[in-house]
């Protein structure tokens, strides 16, 4: 794959992850009872985050080794900030903060949308 397609793949994976997280938080805001579907969606999000890190590493010219991919898959919340610092140096901190702000916004917007939908239906 060339560099442009690697960057496009990274963007598509990141957007898909955010959309899926938004849909999950909207569903939880709509019907707060946990279901087995939620566990499946969380697992898909973890796989998407790992795939995003792998695609990002390839696009930046610093591909992840297999052990790092497995670690990212198993302990995603710990491995992703470490990956961002490894791949970008200290510039990983602003990227991490930006991603956290975007993630918080998506979760809040999804939960509010789900709660409003729940109120409108009831």
pTM score: 0.87
Residues 107/108/112/118 CA torsion (nearest 10 deg): 30
Q: CA 67, CA 57: separation in Å to the nearest integer? A: 14
Rounded distance, CA 41 to CA 48, Å? 10
Instruction: Give the pLDDT confidence score for residue 37 in this predicted structure.
Output: 84
- Per domain, the residue ranges of the chain are 3-121
pLDDT at 38: 85
The pLDDT, as a whole number, for residue 21 is: 94
Cα–chain-centroid distance for residue 11?
A: 11
Residues of the chain scoring pLDDT < 70: none
What's residue 33's pLDDT? Answer: 76
What's the pLDDT score for residue 35?
79
Report the pLDDT value the prediction gives residue 47, as an integer from 0 to 100. 95
- The pLDDT value recorded for residue 122 is 76
């Amino acid at each position: 794959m060339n560099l442009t397609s690697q960057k496009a793949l990274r963007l598509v994976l990141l957007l898909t992850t955010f959309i899926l997280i938004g849909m999950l938080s909207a569903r939880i805001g709509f019907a707060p009872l946990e279901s087995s579907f939620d566990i499946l969606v969380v697992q898909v999000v973890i796989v998407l985050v790992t795939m995003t890190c792998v695609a990002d590493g390839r696009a930046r010219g610093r591909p992840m080794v297999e052990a790092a991919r497995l670690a990212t898959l198993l302990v995603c919340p710990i491995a992703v900030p470490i990956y961002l610092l490894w791949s970008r140096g200290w510039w990983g901190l602003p990227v991490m903060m930006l991603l956290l702000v975007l993630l918080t916004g998506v979760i809040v917007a999804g939960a509010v949308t789900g709660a409003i939908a729940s109120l409108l239906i009831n």
